[in-house]
Structure 1
């Protein structure tokens, strides 16, 4: 096998860590590298303490380290006779049942004598990976040189397993986040500072697919009109600057197009850490929660409800105070009360909360009478 071949298999190992579909390519290249007919890789979840405990006991009894070593099938078969030792004092007696389960699930299949094989169990804190290469018995058995060649891959295979676990964890987190965003009736996205889209709910994906006010290209958020593109870029910068300055400021709010009431409005707010930005697309045609339901949901007064509705329309507290001929101190007091009742700490959080309310419906409450026996 050439150095290029070694590079190819190492590349395949790390590709498989990032993409489960690449495992089949890795298995094929591993078989070629080992001069085997077939190769299989299996990821096992197990009690890693039991696995390492059995390894330590077998090391003491058989003087063979069965973890992270490529060994031939006859060596794996030797482990069977030491399993009879279970029942003695010490860890064998204490953990015998767990040891047997690990042996039967992981060790036993590797001792199959119907083929020549060179196998390893590679352990990490997340579980154990079984790597098995086989060739027919009509061929020559695997040699010590074959084992040494595969042994050099163990550190890469261990890192692949750790990477695979992390990727699966992140995929699970992303799936949960997408499901959570799908609860928002308004199109909602999470983007990076360079406008790369990290997450988008179903409503946002449908909105972007129309390619009207905004669209997705190469994974980034774009506006088709030059003026809108400038507004979008400026709003991202302002949202980021507001976070860096530590300002408890309102979300950046602007309208696409000419700014007419019928144009789509964007609400943008930097999220915790400042590396991502929450973007809510407010289409005036989208249904809104009624003021009555809003008041009932959070126990708002009439004045507080009017303020909440104004913020949801994109008004500032200054314009709201002017339109109502109310002093700013009064409006700020009302805003503080609304934030307390909605359990929000920043105006941007309040706007984000209100923007998801069209997904909520309130059932009419029927009067319930309770009769007590006298």
Structure 2
């Protein structure tokens, strides 16, 4: 017959569950259930309170998680949420909580009255519960020195041992929520762009693609997403994309842009593909640092290019220089621009030289990249301007 788990086994299982729940809120009901059994706490509840909105963001019991509207908020926790935070009193058994800004009684926790695990300008995280075997009409006060029974002392010891971990986990959870919210906002912003954005690994595995990039690949039979890997059906295009990615992922970089390529879709639309190095401002050291590149795919449906008024106000380009820049962004060659504008190729070269100087770019590929990142309007409307 197997051995029964010891108290230490129960403690470490509970602590593992607490920190797991900081990363995955769906694991929190199980953590509260283990907490209830280990500390003898009945009806434990965990609450994330939005101080600005005056309502719950999240409520958790051993029976499940509840959204803001469905979160039951005990009156004791609602009252505690409105009180100013106080620094943690004393050092709990099992280690001090350095720098914690929360409220907890000196001997572990008075869960009947609520414990403030975390307090910021926006949210506070609260816990509550009742002592097993206590009368519901009498608050359970672990600081009551008249309660000297072995059971009460044992429970106080266990609460004092566990609650610092709940407070640390609450700080972890809040930080994860903040980072997740920022990431969601950033991705939502990329979905509003009218050109494709992809983040690729060296093996062409796609780590992110916005809505436009996904739609462009789906509509183009020359490209495909095969189990999360970008593939070009034509060997020449596949080799070109690999070469651009390799240049972008060189250890010390090759400048702001690794290169560009004018891709012709299966529908005959020219789409500029620009590959850039993607380096974090705070790079992760060690094996978690993977090389990535960002791929920008021009708008192949509307074929929008720049307004000459935008170019004039941003870079001081003349009308003729603006039109030459617009034609370059649209993929026209030097001779095609000369024919359209009724000037010599030499004159177009002079315009391009002046455009590069005024825009601070050094090559036509850099200029095209810059132009495709600025606001766009229809080419036909720009061409008709007086």
Q: Same fold (TM over 0.5)?
A: yes
**C-alpha displacement at 1:55, in angstroms?**
6.3
Alpha-carbon displacement from aligned partner over 1:197-249 (angstroms, at most 9, x marks no partner): 5543222243456684445566x5421648355443332221233x8246355
Instruction: Number of aligned residue pairs: give it.
Output: 302
Query: Any gaps of 5 or more consecutive residues in structure 1?
Result: 57-64, 74-109, 112-118, 365-374
Give, in whole Å, the separation in 2 of the partners of 1:224 and 1:10: 49
Give, in whole Å, the separation in 2 of the partners of 1:4 and 1:217: 46
Pick aligned residue for 2:34 from 24, 29, 44: 29
Pick aligned residue for 1:301 from 311, 318, 333: 318
Assess, with a 3 A threshold, how the Cα gap between structure 1 residues 170 and 209 changes in structure 2: closer, same or farther.
farther
2:302 matched to 1:287?
yes
CA RMSD of aligned residues (A): 4.7
**C-alpha displacement at 1:294, in angstroms?**
1.8
Q: Which has the higher contact order (CA 8 A, sep 6+)?
A: 1
Written as runs of structure 1 = structure 2, the 5 A alignment for 1:318-357 is: 324-326=345-347, 330-337=351-358, 339=359, 351-352=368-369, 354-355=371-372
**C-alpha displacement at 1:298, in angstroms?**
2.6
Q: Match for residue 134 of structure 1?
A: 130
Query: Any gaps of 5 or more consecutive residues in structure 2?
Result: 52-80, 91-102, 141-150, 282-290, 339-343, 382-386
Alpha-carbon displacement from aligned partner over 1:30-72 (angstroms, at most 9, x marks no partner): 223334342211234669994126969xxxxxxxx83575334
Give, in whole Å, the separation in 2 of the partners of 1:318 and 1:246: 29
In structure 2, the residue corresponding to 1:253 is in which secondary structure? Answer: strand
8 Å contact from structure 2 (residues 247, 258) kept in 1: no
8 Å contact from structure 1 (residues 264, 281) kept in 2: yes
Higher fraction of strand: 2
Assess, with a 3 A threshold, how the Cα gap between structure 1 residues 278 and 15 changes in structure 2: closer, same or farther.
same
8 Å contact from structure 2 (residues 41, 131) kept in 1: yes
Written as runs of structure 1 = structure 2, the 5 A alignment for 1:1-374 is: 2=6, 3-44=8-49, 50-52=84-86, 66=104, 70-72=108-110, 110-111=112-113, 120-123=115-118, 128-134=124-130, 137=133, 143-191=152-200, 197=206, 199-208=208-217, 212-216=221-225, 220-223=228-231, 225=233, 227=235, 228-241=237-250, 244-245=252-253, 247-249=255-257, 251-253=259-261, 255=263, 262=269, 265-271=272-278, 273=280, 276-282=292-298, 284=300, 286-289=301-304, 294-299=307-312, 300-313=317-330, 324-326=345-347, 330-337=351-358, 339=359, 351-352=368-369, 354-355=371-372
Assess, with a 3 A threshold, how the Cα gap between structure 1 residues 352 and 12 changes in structure 2: closer, same or farther.
farther
In structure 2, the residue corresponding to 1:244 is in which secondary structure? Answer: coil
Q: Give the TM-score of the pair, scaled to structure 1.
A: 0.61
